[in-house]
A = this chain, B = another copy of it.
Amino acid sequence: MRIIELNKSVTASNDLDAEMLRAELKEKGICLINLMSSPGSGKTTLISRLIRDMNEEVPIAVCEADIDSAVDAERIEALGAVAIQVHTDGMCHMDAGMTRRGLEGMNLDGIRLAFLENVGNLICPAEYDTGAHINMMILSVPEGDDKPLKYPLMFEKSDVLVITKTDALPYFSFDTEKCMQRALALNPNLKIFPVSAKTGIGMDALETWLKGRST
Contact = CB atoms under 8 A, between A and B. Distances in A.
Contact of A121 (B71, B121, B152, B172): B121
Contacts of A172: 168
Interface string A120-131: 111110000000
Interface stretch (A3-11, A139-147, A203-211): A139-147
Contact of A40 (B90, B142, B153): B142
A174 B142 CA distance: 14
A165 B140 CA distance: 14
Contact of A153 (B67, B121, B140): B67
Contacts of A151: 39, 67-68, 120
A142 to B, nearest CB: 4
Contacts of A68: 149-152
Nearest to A40: B143
B92 A146 contact: no
Contacts of A140: 40, 142
A92 B124 contact: yes
A69 B165 CA distance: 25
A158 to B, nearest CB: 15
27 contacts: A38-B39, A38-B120, A38-B143, A39-B122, A39-B143, A39-B150, A66-B150, A67-B123, A67-B150, A67-B152, A68-B151, A69-B146, A71-B146, A72-B150, A90-B153, A92-B124, A119-B123, A120-B122, A120-B123, A120-B150, A121-B121, A124-B124, A140-B142, A142-B143, A142-B165, A168-B168, A168-B171
Q: Give 3 closest A-B pairs by Cβ, nearest first.
A: A40-B143, A142-B142, A69-B149
Interface of A: 38-41, 66-69, 71-72, 90, 92, 119-124, 140, 142-144, 146-147, 149-153, 165, 168, 171-172
